[in-house]
Chains A and B, each alone.
Chain A
Amino acid sequence: MTMPEPILRMASITKRFPGIKALDNVDFSLRSGEIHALLGANGAGKSTLMKILCGSLKPDSGEIVMEGNLLSFDRPADAIAAGISYVPQELMLAPTLSAARNILLGQEPIRFQMLGVIDEKELKAQAQEVLGRLGMTIDINMPVQKHAVSTQQMIAIATALFRDSRILVLDEPTSSLSEAEIERLFSITRKLRDEGHAIVFISHHLDEVFRIADRLTVLRDGVFQGCFGVEDVSHDDVVALMVGRRMDAAESYMHDVQEENIALRVRHLAVDGVVDVNFDVHKGEVVGIFGQVGSGRTEVLRAVFGADRPQRGTIEINGTPVVIRSPRDAIRHGLGLITEDRKRQGLVLEMGIADNISLGNYLPVMNRGLVNPRARSHVAGKFKKELQIKMQGPNQWVKFLSGGNQQKVILAKWLNRNSQILLMDEPTKGIDVGAKQEFYALINTLAEQGVAILMVSSELTEVMMLSDRILVMKDGRINGEFIPESGMEEQILAKAL
């Protein structure tokens, strides 16, 4: 049910920031009753364009026209009033308030106008009604932080629905969802589309985009690359437009695995969320852990690293049993952990690159008891070259780096410690296509140098491409072990579900 007339047109939008032109005469049109994907690498301008649409930013030039009316937003509330709702990747919900409270936040039904007392019964009824439209029955009284992430997402969408928004912008909605949850999200999105809403879908996952979207728009470096119907364009075409060149077909990375050298041996590991896990990782081997969100993958890595205390289990490193009770113990034994959430656990955002690389490891750059700034900058420079980190200077706050470069800084931190066993949790999450390729090459190089790598990933193609062996986790156990060959995708997926 697509109307040919666009409900929204953003025309010739230009936005500059000090030093760069984020958007250069970008056009974007949206029809009611469609799901329109917005694609582009990190820094391509998707997020800037949406921030302008949702009232967080003002364009330098260009216009926004909605249903024939020229619009100008001074703040997000104006966009919301115009019927545009933004559901960010990080879900702006009040974690301790109930679902009902969140959905009606700011528009609670009031009794006794003067006193401002909230009409609880009416609040709950209205919340139920909206959730019902989405086909959801959940506990609306529980604080939302206790709900699963996928449910929280539904609540965020319900909030937008309650405001009667004609246009919904979903920013990377699937990044923390399992396959089943993604399917539920998609069916709800399709329902909303069929009811006439216009939905902007921002995602890095091309296969999902091709599943759900009607049309797609590609941006690259702030420049509009084209708007296409999803049937009219191929996967590779889109990637070529996003990156500016054709990517080589994904090949498998191969390297020698030292069969005799078991770098890490884990037996009977048990922790909250992990029942009984046994595996080995050899020197020079990349072992991929694949599984749904919640299958225990992150918990395994954290337990091995000492970030959480395991309830049971033995760990042997290079043949010697070790006791790991804290990250410091793990580091002493040559382990390194790249966490899933780099901003909350991997980096001190308001600190320089050099400082983050040297975090907790100042001895090499100290001279007579004091940190030598030149030595520290030298270390940063060394990794900048080695890992191709794009930075403005060694003291630039990592907050200002792109996701891919931030991840490289974290990797540099462990390389600086000469870690021989690297634990990686979703290392390429939220990184653009080009940086991902660089990361894959880096992982492969490290494996060639003899580093043992244990990598958690929810992208099957990635896991298959990089791993020498794949462990599939389900419900806290290892459900299957594979040596990846093409065609195995379904078998592997089956073991995970």
Chain B
Amino acid sequence: MTDKQITQESTTSHEMDDLVEKKERSWKVPQSAGIVLALILLSIFFTILSPVFISGTNIVNILVQSSMTIVIATGATIVIASAGIDLSVGSVLALSGIFMAMALKAEWPPALCILIGLFGSTLIGAINGWMVGKVKITPFIATLAMMSVARAVAYIITDARPIYGLPAGFRYFGTGKIGPVPVAGIVAIVVAAIGHLILERTRAGRNSLAIGGNEEAARLSGVNVGKAQIIIYALAGLTYGIGALIMTARMNAAEPMAGTGLEMDAIAAAVIGGTSLAGGVASVFGTVIGSLILATLRNGLTLLSVQPYFQQLTIGIVIVAAVFLDKIRSR
């Protein structure tokens, strides 16, 4: 007899319910223990190969480099929790940075400029959410379109030229320190903490997980799915604005090509951290670790003088490995 490829497991059979085949722990949220261990092992690995890795300056470096990823990936996590995806991260970030920079150049008070940038990114996020939730366009297509539109607008309003020379006080957000701790790192941690709170303890977060877990059940239970989507993507937009703040402050410039490809980092960090692309399962803590892993990888490989393209290759492999391991663990 020839070998059939269909597995006849009926995992949806109602009779399986009584029998807890999976071990107890799998009814808790993603196994962060695994990736923390991975992070530690990775760090040990790099330290052995390049002792300078573990130096104070380098660690601070890694934290700073990861802070932007942490911020935007937190937003991405909330979106992915709803079984959505946001490809417009990079473009919105660039546009938001440009708004901020233009306002700064016009010598408006810095606080106002930051608010303008944040407002802009949040508004764009809300538009994404509106497309997904009310017009019912699939998230992939809606945010793909926004990615192009936002990027185009960025080029148009800057005439394709970067905006340089921002006021000194502004740079504080990117490069400033409070004691030994970089301000960017503090911002990242605060954003992650709030993100975690939102996901676990607010209506918006619970709705996001419910929609990602079973949108129809959520709708039939009275969740206003359309409105919830707008809020979810708007929150994500807000985090992109904060990310723009950090990046623009660090580079002391806003350029229309900024952030290209950043959406991949955001999604990768979330996925490595255990957030499921199918929605319904998400962890901001995992995303933070995921971001740290990405930053550690890049940093370590650079210290070892690995060429940038090989770095990209390594990171790609790591992402696949992380998802693969996660699949095995949850069997």
Contacts and interface: CB of A to CB of B under 8 A. Distances in A.
Interface stretch (B31-39, B87-95, B99-107, B220-228): B220-228
Contacts of B14: 42, 89, 402-403, 430
A345 interface: yes
A481 B222 CA distance: 32
A380 to B, nearest CB: 14
B18 interface: yes
A400 interface: yes
Interface in B1-15: 1-10, 12-15
A22 interface: yes
Given A77-B3, A348-B280, A171 B10 contact: yes
Interface residues of A, number: 71
B247 interface: no
Q: Does more than half of chain B's interface fall in helix, strand or loop, or is it mixed?
A: loop
B10 A327 contact: no
A347 B216 CA distance: 9
A17 B220 contact: no
A163 B281 CA distance: 39
B202 A106 contact: no
A359 B1 contact: no
B159 interface: no
A362 B8 contact: no
B162 interface: no
B57 interface: no
Contact of A76 (B8, B206, B224): B8
A76 B7 contact: yes
Given A20-B19, A42-B17, A48-B19, A395 B221 contact: no
Interface stretch (B21-29, B234-242, B288-296, B311-319): B21-29
Nearest to B226: A326
Contacts of B207: 360
A18 B206 contact: no
Interface string A321-346: 00000011001000001010001111
A351 interface: yes
A371 interface: yes
Contact of A328 (B2, B16, B224): B224
A81 B1 CA distance: 6
Contacts of A346: 217, 220
B23 A366 contact: no
A81 B197 CA distance: 53
A19 B20 contact: yes
Given A106-B2, A371-B206, A90 B20 contact: no
Nearest to B7: A76
A373 B13 contact: no
Interface string A303-323: 001010000000000000000
20 contacts: A17-B20, A76-B8, A76-B9, A88-B8, A90-B12, A105-B5, A106-B6, A337-B220, A339-B220, A345-B220, A348-B209, A348-B214, A350-B280, A359-B210, A359-B218, A359-B223, A360-B222, A396-B27, A400-B22, A403-B17
Top 6 nearest A-B pairs (CB, nearest first) are: A88-B10, A43-B18, A348-B213, A47-B15, A360-B222, A359-B221
